[in-house]
């Protein structure tokens, strides 16, 4: 009787070495995925900031060279007026422009002089990520506006005060 003692099993040392090697591999792989997820959320936040900055600059350039603010109304005293959800102004070539948030929550700039009937299709989309737009007047030719947006489940607001340059 010849007995074979060459059974194909693993010793406890081989199992421990394998576990140690797999642990080291996981130790290096997990941070890569963590940094990747963090980079993605940071990029989306930066995209939101960039969009709001672009919208702010576009609104400021449209209003700054305008000739008159038609709405919101002038405040009664030297204090600022109350907040309104739209702005109506005359641009640099004396066209009536309306800045508002539509029913879909998009910030729009509409050239009122180019409207045909009730069609608002000619309105220009400025942003679809703005949660709220509000504006108020300070005196005759100064307009303050506020853009509210959300990034990383937090709400942020950007405010700006513009003085019209073409008002005498």
Specify the pTM.
0.69
154-163 β-sheet, strand order: 130-138, 142-151, 154-163
Q: Which residues contact 120 (CB under 8 A, 6 or more apart)?
A: 102, 108, 110
Residue 167 predicted with pLDDT over 70: no
Q: Work out the mean pLDDT of the chain and round it to a whole number.
A: 84
Write out pLDDT tens, residues 118-136: 666 678 888 888 888 999 9
Return left, alpha or beta for 16; rule: phi > 0 is left, psi -120 to 50 is alpha, else beta: alpha
Write out pLDDT tens, residues 53-74: 888 899 998 889 888 888 988 8
Q: How far apart are CA 135 and CA 162, in angstroms?
A: 11
């Amino acid at each position: 009787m010849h007995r074979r003692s060459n059974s194909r099993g693993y010793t406890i040392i081989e199992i421990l070495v394998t576990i140690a090697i797999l642990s080291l591999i996981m130790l290096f792989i997990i941070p890569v995925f963590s940094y990747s997820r963090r980079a993605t959320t940071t990029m989306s936040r930066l995209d939101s900031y960039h969009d709001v900055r672009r919208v702010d600059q576009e609104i400021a350039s449209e209003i700054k060279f305008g000739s008159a603010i038609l709405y919101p109304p002038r405040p009664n005293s030297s204090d600022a007026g109350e907040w309104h959800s739209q702005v109506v102004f005359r641009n640099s070539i004396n066209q009536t422009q309306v800045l508002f948030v539509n029913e879909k929550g998009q910030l729009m700039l509409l050239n009122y002089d180019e409207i045909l009937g009730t069609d608002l299709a000619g309105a220009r989309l400025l942003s679809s990520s703005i949660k709220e737009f509000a504006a108020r007047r300070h005196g005759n030719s100064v307009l303050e506006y506020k853009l509210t947006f959300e990034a990383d489940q937090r709400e942020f607001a950007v405010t700006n005060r513009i003085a019209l340059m073409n008002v005498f």
